[in-house]
Homo-oligomer: A and B are copies of this chain.
Amino acid sequence: MGKERLEAFSDGVIAIIITVMVLELHVPAGTTLDALVPIIPIFLSYVLSFVFVGIYWNNHHHLLRAASRVNGVVLWANLLLLFFLSLIPFVTGWMGETQFQATPVALYGVILWFSAVSYTLLVRALISNHGGDSVIAVAIGDDRKGKLSLALYTIAIPLAFFIPLAACACYVIVAIIWFIPDQRIERKIEQRAEE
């Protein structure tokens, strides 16, 4: 089964998610710079989510490049990932409009946690479809980044109820960890191509 339409559909959904978030940035009431002040937390929340959705698109791009085919399980794992990503605009808006209050920050982490788990399920579905010695399987390896992210989210969620900004710091750390695209896959593909 071809992977092209899966990529196209995912691109479409992720493109809409990343853009729909900006609708949360309502036109301010005033006409001066002061009018922008209440929007600052909403803007920061938007920047964080833009980076996260951008990272997911980047990694999804790399992951599917390493795949040569998809099956029904992969389609559904992909839809599960898109479902949790589609909730990011909602939690982004809540977190921003409440100026990073405890519960919204925790819920933001919960959605990131589920997104990360769905991504892992998608990776597993692709590996089991391609075989344990495939490019994907070798490239993902022990998935240190993925495990670290999940650990950070798991710490951040309860932490949010005590020090919301510390939880936000965890999210920023995860974003920095993933900022560099998944060069493992890139490198492995090149190695294979050379062999």
Contacts and interface: CB of A to CB of B under 8 A. Distances in A.
B19 A86 contact: yes
Interface in A1-27: 1-2, 5-9, 11-20, 22-25, 27
Would you call the interface of chain A mostly helix, strand, loop, or mixed? helix
A149 to B, nearest CB: 18
A128 to B, nearest CB: 16
Interface in A41-75: 47, 50, 54, 57-58, 61, 64-65, 72, 75
A72 B19 contact: no
A contact residues, range: 35 or more
A89 interface: yes
B19 A50 contact: no
